[in-house]
Structure 1
Amino acid sequence: MSSDFEAYEQDFGTLTAEITNKIGRIPKLAGEEKTQLVLNVDKQLEEVRELLEQMDLEVREIPIQSRGMYNSRLKSYKQEMEKLEKDFKRSRIAYSDEVRNELLGEDGSSSESQRAHLLDNTERLERSSRRLEAGYQIAVETEQVGQEILANLHSDREKIQMSRDRLRETDANLGKSSRILTGMLRSRRKKVTHIWDGVRQDLAPVHTAKSTKSWLNDHGVGVLDWPANSPDQNSIENLWGIVKRKMRNKRPTNADELKATFKETWASIPPQQCHKLITSMPRQIEAVIKAKGAPTKY
């Protein structure tokens, strides 16, 4: 970016030197040659203005830490441009006076004070024009900023609307999931109630004792009917067998030690083993059916 700026500086220096030389020659010429020179200077001044605009754009692209130096140089070039324009206007006014004198004679010549007054008014008009241009530029930039803000607000509004739609969809899905889970729980409760509507036990004396029956009756626990000689497919029996095998090498000497040993052994059985026994029930039932009620490996 800085190399482009320096190239514009070289062009600026060349053009302004040529313009300064030509402005100094205007009062010394006459007729068609002077007219052509004035037009040529006016064209070159327009080129200088375009150069300054390009330099201004380049400065805006330069990093902030290096921009100050280039801004100062650009400001001095703009001041030099203003001086050239003033010098050119003075030479044009003198040229206009000469043309008018040629057309009207000595009676149409203006005084030095009138010329100065006209020059002052021209400069004042130029300053007003520059202020108007600056105000217009600020208005354009403000409009651009406003358009960007509106675009951002529109984008944010779309994002908020999308988030709201997703929340509504999530809420609907949660409601649907809640209804499904509620139905599953109700179905599960019915199944559990159906499974545990009575105790299944064999006809061992401890189960058929009067005290046992009385306790079950007092606590509202039903007992499923069970034939005297039936395949024992209760998983608790397998669990008792595991406990017996684990306690085989234990040697408790009294009832308290026996209870402590049993509790310790019972706690050492992992839940996975209990689950395995429960999940084997379909295979056990299938084996009993296949054996037609005869003993099985279970």
Structure 2
Amino acid sequence: MSEMFQTYERQYQELVSGLKQGCVAAGALNEDQRRPKVPELKTALDEGDSLIRRMDLEARGLQPPQKTAFLGKLKNYKAELTNLKREVKMMSMGAGAREQLLEGGQFTTSQEQRVQLAAATDRMYQTGDRIREGKKVLVETEELGVSILQDLHRQREVLQHSKNTLHGVDDNIARGKVIIHNISRRITRNKYIMAGLIIFLLLAILVIATGKRHQG
């Protein structure tokens, strides 16, 4: 379990390193140049969320010493990712500038085209956000399904172990019955032998007594 956590942790650290570099590079661009970079950064943030959920799932299945240490790491990773989300969100904000442009009341053809393009881009971003949310739900559902399957597998192993134990008890009972039957047969045989000996002794005593009587 801890090996899986460490694997996810390495993937997360590589992802965050790339995210930080991407944020720095995007921050140096103007708004038009920066806009196409934002969806890529958001996709990377979603991957970071997915890795954190997987690390959390692995950490909660560990024993207390490791569990506490790994959950402490996760707390720092979540805070780090939250800061990156805030930074990316700041990069994607352009609504205020467009509102000021609309309130001016006078547009050139180029300005109108830019406003229409900005509105279309916003719709595209919203659609992308909904798709990412859908993917996130699918990942969470998949993780829940994996967890349920693992629980069912453990329960199956417990039931199989109980079944094997019951088979062992049945075998012991069967052997016990055989032993008791053999003992019963021996007791019965010994009774017959004792009865035969007693009869033989009585007959011998009777013969001896009869012989003495005739001699007298």
Aligned match of 1:245 = none
State the aligned residue count: 190
Query: Under a length normalisation based on structure 1, what TM-score does the superposition of the two structures give?
Result: 0.46
| 3-state SS of 1:124 partner | helix
Q: Percent identity?
A: 13
Query: How big is the shift at 1:131?
Result: 1.8
* Partner of residue 79 from structure 1, selected from 79, 82, 106: 82
User: Are residues 1:147 and 2:131 paired?
Assistant: no
AA aligned opposite 1:131: V
Aligned match of 1:210 = none
> What is the CA–CA distance in structure 2 between the aligned matches of 1:177 and 1:148, rounded to whole Å?
43
The structure showing larger relative contact order (alpha-carbon pairs under 8 Å, at least 6 residues apart) is 2
AA aligned opposite 2:78: K
Query: How big is the shift at 1:172?
Result: 1.9
AA aligned opposite 1:69: G
> What is the CA–CA distance in structure 1 between the aligned matches of 2:149 and 2:25, rounded to whole Å?
42
Structure 2 gaps, min length 5:
95-111
Aligned match of 1:129 = 135
Query: How big is the shift at 1:81?
Result: 5.0
Moved more, 16-25 or 38-47: 38-47
> What is the CA–CA distance in structure 2 between the aligned matches of 1:192 and 1:16, rounded to whole Å?
103
| 3-state SS of 2:28 partner | helix
Q: Deviations 1:95-119 (Å, cap 9, x if unpaired)?
A: xxxxxxxxxxx85862544443433
> What is the CA–CA distance in structure 2 between the aligned matches of 1:22 and 1:49, rounded to whole Å?
22
Moved over 3 A (4+): 2-16, 25-30, 37-62, 64-68, 80-91, 106-109, 111-118, 196-199, 225-228
Which residues of 2 match residues 48-87 of structure 1 at below 5 A?
Answer: 52=52, 56=56, 59-60=59-60, 63-83=66-86
Which residues of 2 match residues 175-186 of structure 1 at below 5 A?
Answer: 175-186=181-192
Which residues of 2 match residues 8-157 of structure 1 at below 5 A?
Answer: 14-27=17-30, 52=52, 56=56, 59-60=59-60, 63-83=66-86, 110-157=116-163
Query: How big is the shift at 1:138?
Result: 0.3
> What is the CA–CA distance in structure 2 between the aligned matches of 1:82 and 1:39, rounded to whole Å?
12
Query: Under a length normalisation based on structure 2, what TM-score does the superposition of the two structures give?
Result: 0.60
